[in-house]
Chain A
Amino acid sequence: MEILSLDHILTGVRAENWQQAVEAAGQILVDHGSITPQYIENMIQAVYDMGPYMVLMPHFALAHAAPCDAVLRDDMSLVILEEPVVFGSPNDPVKVILCLACIDKESHMNSLTRVAEALMDETVFDALMKASTAEEAYEALNSFSI
């Protein structure tokens, strides 16, 4: 079973700042009909409100907001930036962003756990940092098995 599908991954994404990077990650989910644009605003607002705590480890941010009406179904997307952006976190700069949308606090737990296990694997993450195409990123992510 794939961890994340190819059409939910973008590489070489250009963003001038963290807001644009979060927008790019969220836009994938808008395009797939999983969230409305309001959710992108919520994710950005969450960083303004609570600081860049979503930058969980070096080079990586987990962009998300609270479950709400702007989420139409559980989904995740991944962007790899052309040039990293700064969030103001000790784990800056950020190059890889996982965008998480969940309809509630429970239903997405298994799928998020699987993506997280892969992302926190050093070999997988190094390959993602270097991926220049979505196919390469897809292969790296889905090559991981627990």
Chain B
Amino acid sequence: MEELTIQAVCGFGCGSSLLLRMKIDKVLKEEGITARTFCGDVATAAATPCDVIFCSEEIADRLIDRAKVPVITVVNFNNPDEVKEKVMGYIQSLEDKQ
């Protein structure tokens, strides 16, 4: 499998997406999963190549119609259980497909 790319998206790609990316990185590290994570903004995220998008619900509303990849929402960026559940849920869905 090629390296997984995960895009964390917020309004401008420079604030809250960085915090979300930090939390995703932490989960990936804990679970021993190699993936490339990066930040994106809501205006360009749908056109930026990646395997999956993580963002807040408000941002997802603006992306979901345009995105070609799964859009996964996180309510509380600082809840490690929620971030882990959602990241691992996505990873699991990939394994199920194989």
Contact = CB atoms under 8 A, between A and B. Distances in A.
Q: Do A and B come from one complex?
A: yes
A50 B56 CA distance: 11
Main secondary structure, interface of B, reads mixed
Nearest to A66: B12
Nearest to A50: B11
Interface in B40-95: 41-42, 55-59, 61-62, 75-79
A129 interface: no
| Number of chain A interface residues as a range | 20 to 34
Contacts of B16: 53-54, 56, 62, 64
B15 A54 contact: yes
Contact of A53 (B13, B23, B58, B79): B58
Of A50, A53, A66, A120, most B-chain CB atoms within 10 Å: A53
Contacts of B77: 56-57, 120
Interface residues of B, number: 27
B27 interface: no
A62 B19 contact: yes
Contacts of B23: 120
Given A62-B15, A67-B14, A108-B14, A50 B75 contact: no
B12 A51 contact: no
Interface string A78-94: 00000000000011000
B18 interface: yes
B18 A113 contact: yes
A56 B41 CA distance: 16
Contacts of B59: 50, 53
B24 interface: no
Of B10, B41, B57, B58, most A-chain CB atoms within 10 Å: B58
B22 interface: yes
A59 to B, nearest CB: 10
Contact of B22 (A57, A58, A64, A113): A113
A64 B42 CA distance: 14
Interface string B1-40: 0000000001111111011101100000000000000010
Contacts of B56: 53, 56
Given A57-B79, A120-B19, 15 more contacts: A50-B42, A51-B61, A53-B55, A54-B16, A56-B77, A62-B16, A65-B11, A65-B12, A66-B11, A66-B14, A102-B15, A104-B14, A105-B13, A116-B22, A120-B78
